[in-house]
Amino acid sequence: MSNVIGRPAAKIFAAAIVLMGVIRFVLTSSGLPDSTVKYFSMTAIIIAGTFYFALTTDTHKDRLKASYALLIPYMVIEVSVLGYEWASGHPTIFHAKEYNLGTSLPAHTIGHFVGGLTWEPLFTFVLMEFIWLVGQGVYRLTGNWQQTD
């Protein structure tokens, strides 16, 4: 399929990322400790989506589109919650010490916005390409070679 964004799987992964982000925000805002909230992970969903799209898309262009389909919802949640924290002064897990890389809240917020549009989806795309390449090698070794691209 050439329209990755229109695929039901892309919509399901995007919705799952947003839902997990909302759950994470609700839990952290409700006062649950970060040691509990950290297990509600948008990253885990993105990793699953990375493997799924790496192995089910037909072209490099589709994998690039899929990487943006996975990272844009993540970026929207991150920037929204960091913006909330910035405006309200109420701390959340989203800017916890283990996630902010020692940056200020404004720098962290802007970093997620810029990263979510540039290097984060591109890194995910490169990872998808590597997974795809390994998958093609497995197909070739097992006699199930499928030429794509």
DSSP states of 23-51 as a string?
A: HHHHHHHTT--HHHHTTS-HHHHHHHHHH
**Which residues have a Cβ under 8 Å from the Cβ of 135 and sit 6 or more positions away?**
54, 55
**Alpha-carbon 17 to chain mean position:** 7
Domain with 103 in it: 8-141
Q: What tens digit of pLDDT does each residue of 2-54 get?
A: 577 778 999 999 999 999 999 999 999 999 999 999 999 999 999 999 999 99
Helix, strand, coil percentages for the chain (3-state, nearest 5):
75, 0, 25
Mean pLDDT confidence for 92-113: 94
In a domain, 51, yes or no: yes
What is the domain count for the chain? Answer: 1
Per-residue pLDDT band for 67 (boundaries 50, 70, 90) equals: very high
pTM for the model stands at 0.89
User: Is there a domain that residue 149 lies in?
Assistant: no
